[in-house]
Structure 1
Amino acid sequence: MPPALFPHSLASVSLVAEVIYKKFVLGVPLYRQLSEISRLGYHTSEATLTNWVIKAAQQLTPLYEEFHRQLCSAHHLQGDETPIEVLREPGKAATSKSYMWVARTPIKQPNPTVYYAYGATRSGAFAQSVYEGYQGVLQCDGYSGYNLLGTGVHRMGCWAHVRRKFYDANQAHIKGAQELLHLIDEMFTREREWQAYSPRVRRRRRRSSLRKILKRFWRIVDHTEVLSQSRLGKAITYAQSQRPYLDRIISDGVIDWSNNASERNMKSLVIGRKNWLFSTSTQGAESTAIWMTFIESAKANHIDPRQYLTDLLKASTVLPAFPKPEELAVYLPWNYRKHQNVDQRTDVNESPATTFAA
């Protein structure tokens, strides 16, 4: 018999992996999975499935922490946050907001890492815990909580956030918005043409080609007279407040022109949240952060999330209680992918987890 996933439990690795896959990849709430599991001949409860999801995440917490350590060793990161609802959170009403934070490496960087963290607040103090030990470039929106990250973190802005505000002003047919929106779109058009280039080439193109467009954009912004509370006024105010962070992108070829990559990762969570609505407990919210970290990192590394989840759950039964970093490194997505490719060439019937366990 293979090692049990949980002592004295009927839960198998494949069953728990399928439950987690359906909830966090396909967005199927646990209560809607019960009828399918019952049809297959196993009658259980939503509480049991919830316990499986939480306990399995807790068993893989050391690997989750290793993801965070790997993330903070990168030199460029992108970040975002979104509200979630936790019903039974100490000291808070059931309808109050908690937050899920995401941090990831830029698309062009090797060993893509996507990391989620659950926080009871949106305060800058929690941002400090997410980026604890990080020294490098962080691309994010204009939220003031990131101001507490210290001098070791060099912030860069996001042109997509700027564009949305000018787009709204243009949709309202406000005079002056169309020209500014056109200049932003021209920047994005050129950036798309340079996506395949190396960071060094992209930095050179930005400095030689985008600098002129950028100067024209700021010149128009500085000389536009508009009511501060109008849509165009709010767009201009936001752009001016982010100007130091937006101008820095010109001199960096690694960071993207926008923070859309991290927002797409957050959208994966938001789509699921529309189906399962909330987390009942803080343990449930924390397990959501752990599973989303593994799943979105697997996607970023072009790995099948279902197979990756299955192999991680198998690994949780053989890893020691206090695994060493080198024991955990084998299960990081980029190392997993290398072993997977080797296994496919040598023996198509042998799973990566078998090789790892051996």
Structure 2
Amino acid sequence: MLNDGTGFKKVYIATGFTDLRRGIDGLARTIRFQFHLDPYDKHTLFLFCGRRTDRIKGLLWEGGGFLLLYKRIENGNFRWPRTKGEALEITADQYQMLMQGLEIIAKAVKYTEEQLNTVDKSFLIHLLLQQEQLEALTKELHASNEKMQLLMEQVILGKQNRFGRSSEKMEDTGQIRFREVDGSIVFFNEAEAVSDLSVSEPEDLELRSPRQPKRKGKKEADLSGLPIRRIDHYLSETELEEEFGEKGWKQLPDAISRKYRFVPAKVEVEEHHIGVYASKTDEHMVKADHPKSLLHGSLVSPSLAVAIINGKYVNAVPLYRLEQEFQRYGLQITRQHMANWCIRLGEEYLSVLYDHLHEELYSCHVIQADETPVLVNHDGRKAGSKSWMWVYRSGHLYHNRQIVLYEYQQTRNASHPREFLKGYDGICVTDGYQVCHTLEKEIQAIYREEGKLNALSSDERLKQRQAVIKPLVDAFFAYLKNIKVSRKDKFGDAVGYALNQEKYLRVFLTDEDVPIDNNASERAIRAFVSGRKTGR
């Protein structure tokens, strides 16, 4: 099908790198949530390529199910576009060129010396002069940008010294700080920073009693100081007779599977004894049912994974401190192993939950959003470049349906929330401008009345807002329109902002599910920045 190009009418290629370990569900989620296309579009083929460009995968919906296609070139590579990941529709001719290992995106033409000799010399001189002028203008623009950045820094510092709190002059309280670990500044992206895929899984359990240090060079830990919880998985007599016939089986040595198991204040080994049985008449063998490994080839158990994720991402404990804590329990695992586990668990399990919650979020009539700055090193940009963590959550008035999702982006561009909420048909509540907090004293009465309505039903809340809160809001905007303020201070900016956004600030009066403010998303983002002090 891939060779002859039959069975489909349109072809999209996922430019950039794609993890080809993903199956049908993973590729379908990529098509839907990353490229915002319909994976169920009949007669549309989606192609993916990994870092090894000698093989590709294809996904095609045939009406009753997906068809997963695979193609590999024995000699040579696919000329795959490596631009930023996007879904690029290609023509039939481009598809055939791609299958033959040819470039599908035209490159700049390179002329030979003989061809250049045929070009008019005055035209070449004109091009050379234009290039020199362009280089000169580029240098001037670069110098102007540097001067502008210096002036902007002076303006920001001047505003901070004039309007900011004295205790915060030397620190941006909204900025996340990171701790230096082994020469790298890490906190938010600590798992990626300390992850080392070249570090293999420990060959066996490396546990020891805190009072009996492990001897150097010893590969297998001494388990005598730790309790072992044995869990048997055997077949009953009835099951064995159904499998092998009466007296037609014999007991072989158990297959033993050991996993790290985390128990508060102690660590024990979870040892699974799995019954293995063989026929006396032939080579037929069976094993008793037993739990599958959380991560293939890894010793991590669900309880240990929960302890690591809870400590790192909920309690904001850096991995190096978790490593020290586990060492006190006698468990020898490095932060590199924990980082690798966190990343794999996120890719194999939590990404599925994230995509499901993302889809569920679209069913909420009201969504709240916020963002906070974050410093991330080693992302291809200059060290110390500012990035942003965005949070999207269901409206906080949906008490029985709370969804909170985080998304990392390198910029604060408005295109990010538009892309994340592409196709959403509802209300998104966000902060238009932080100076609105300057008017808190003027709106205390409105907040007091709104606070009394939290426990009411949606219909009753809307009635009370119209009867009690709307007159207060009307009086508030009448007050703003009559006062005279200077546009040079924060209060003036706040008044101007409130008047310009009056239409949107009044929405909560006509929609019972819209909150009065965006504090819920700010609380959600605060959970992310709560580890700032521990990361210093």
Partner of 1:227: 486
After superposition, what is the alpha-carbon deviation per residue over 1:166-209, rounded to whole angstroms, capped at 9, x for unaligned? 24xxxxxxxxxxxxx24x11101001111111111111111122
1:80 corresponds in structure 2 to 370
Structure 1 CA distance for aligned equivalents of residues 469 and 444 of structure 2: 12
Alpha-carbon deviations, 1:261-316, whole Å to 9, x = none? Answer: 11111111110244346xxxxxxxxxxxxxxxxxxxxxxxxxxxxxxxxxxxxxxx
> 1:148-163 counterparts in 2 under 5 A?
none
TM-score (norm 2): 0.44
- Which AA in structure 1 matches 2:303? S
Separation in 2, partners of 1:106, 1:203:
15
**Counterpart residue identity of residue 58, structure 1:** E
Whole-Å separation in 2 of the counterparts to 1:140 and 1:239: 14
Shift of 1:164: 1.9
Cα displacement string for residues 181-238 of structure 1 (whole angstroms, at most 9, x for unaligned residues): 24x1110100111111111111111112222211211111111112111232122122
Measured in 2, the distance between the counterparts of 1:231 and 1:83 equals 21
Q: What is the TM-score of this pair, normalised by structure 1?
A: 0.65
Matched, 1:64 2:337: no
Partner of 1:17: 306
| 1:137-170 deviation per Cα after TM superposition (whole angstroms, max 9, x unaligned) | 1111106xxxxxxxxxxxxxxxxx6662124xxx
Higher strand share: 2
In 2, Cα distance between equivalents of 1:187 and 1:259: 15
Contact 1:165 1:234 in 2 (8 A): no
The 5 A counterparts of 1:180-191 are 181-182=441-442, 184-191=443-450
Report matched runs for 1:97-246 at 5 Å.
97-109=386-398, 110-142=400-432, 164-167=437-440, 181-182=441-442, 184-246=443-505
Q: CA deviation at 1:37?
A: 1.0
Find the residue that maps to 2:368 and give its secondary structure: strand
In 2: Cα distance, 1:83 partner to 1:246 partner = 25
CA distance in 2, matches of 1:78, 1:236: 23
Question: Using the alignment, how far apart are the partners of 2:432 and 2:297 within structure 1?
Answer: 50
**Counterpart Cα distance in 1 of 2:489 and 2:391:** 32
Question: In 2, Cα distance between the equivalents of 1:115 and 1:162?
Answer: 26
Match of 1:45 in 2: 334
CA distance in 2, matches of 1:163, 1:186: 16
What amino acid maps onto 1:114 in structure 2? V
SS of residue paired to 1:81: strand
Rounded Cα–Cα distance in structure 2 between residues aligned with 1:211 and 1:14:
51
Percent identity, please.
Answer: 32
User: How big is the shift at 1:111?
Assistant: 2.1
Q: RMSD of aligned C-alpha atoms?
A: 1.7
Rg (Cα) greater in structure:
2
**Mean CA deviation greater in 13-22 or 238-247:** 238-247
Shift of 1:5: 2.0
> Is the contact between residue 83 and residue 99 of structure 1 (CA under 8 Å) also seen in structure 2?
yes
Taking a change above 3 Å as real, the CA distance of residues 186 and 163 of structure 1, as seen in their structure-2 partners, is farther
AA aligned to 1:239 is A
Question: CA separation in 2, counterparts of 1:162 and 1:242?
Answer: 13
Give the conservation status (yes or no) of the 8 Å contact 1:99–1:122. Answer: yes
2:516 to 257, 273, 276: 257
Structure 1: which 5+ runs fail to align?
A: 144-160, 168-180, 278-358
Give the whole-Å Cα distance in 2 for the aligned partners of 1:133 and 1:73.
11
Q: What is the CA distance between 1:55 and its match in structure 2?
A: 0.9
CA pair 276-130 structure 1, distance change in 2 beyond 3 A: farther
Corresponding residue for residue 528 of structure 2:
269
Counterpart secondary structure, 1:240: helix
Separation of aligned partners in 1, 2:383 and 2:534: 18
**Contact 2:438–2:494 under 8 Å retained in 1:** yes
Q: Partners of 1:62 and 1:74 in 2: how far apart?
A: 19
**Number of aligned positions between the proteins:** 245
**For residues 420 and 533 of structure 2, what CA distance do their matches in structure 1 show?**
25
> How many Å separate the matches in 2 of 1:123 and 1:267?
21
Q: Deviations over 1:103-142 (max 9, x none)?
A: 1112232422111111121111211122122110111110
Aligned amino acid, residue 164 of structure 1: H
SS at match of 1:117: strand
SS in 2 for 1:275: coil
Q: Give a deviation string over 1:232-254, Cα, whole Å, max 9, x none.
A: 21221221232111012111111
Amino acid aligned to 2:311: K
Which structure has the highest helix share of the two? Answer: 1
Q: What is the CA–CA distance in structure 1 between the aligned matches of 2:402 and 2:471, rounded to whole Å?
A: 32
Residue identity matched to 1:66: H
Assess if the C-alpha contact under 8 Å between 1:104 and 1:115 holds in 2: yes
SS, match of residue 477 in structure 2: helix
Counterpart residue identity of residue 190, structure 1? E
Q: What SS does the aligned partner of 1:88 have? A: coil
2:487, 2:322 → 1: CA distance? 51
- Classify the secondary structure of the residue corresponding to 2:530: helix
Q: Contact conserved, 1:23 with 1:272, CA < 8 A, in 2?
A: no
SS at the partner of 1:257?
A: coil
What is the one-letter code of the residue matched to 1:89? Answer: D
- Asked whether the 8 Å contact 1:71–1:115 carries over to 2, the reply is no
SS of residue in 2 equivalent to 1:272 = coil
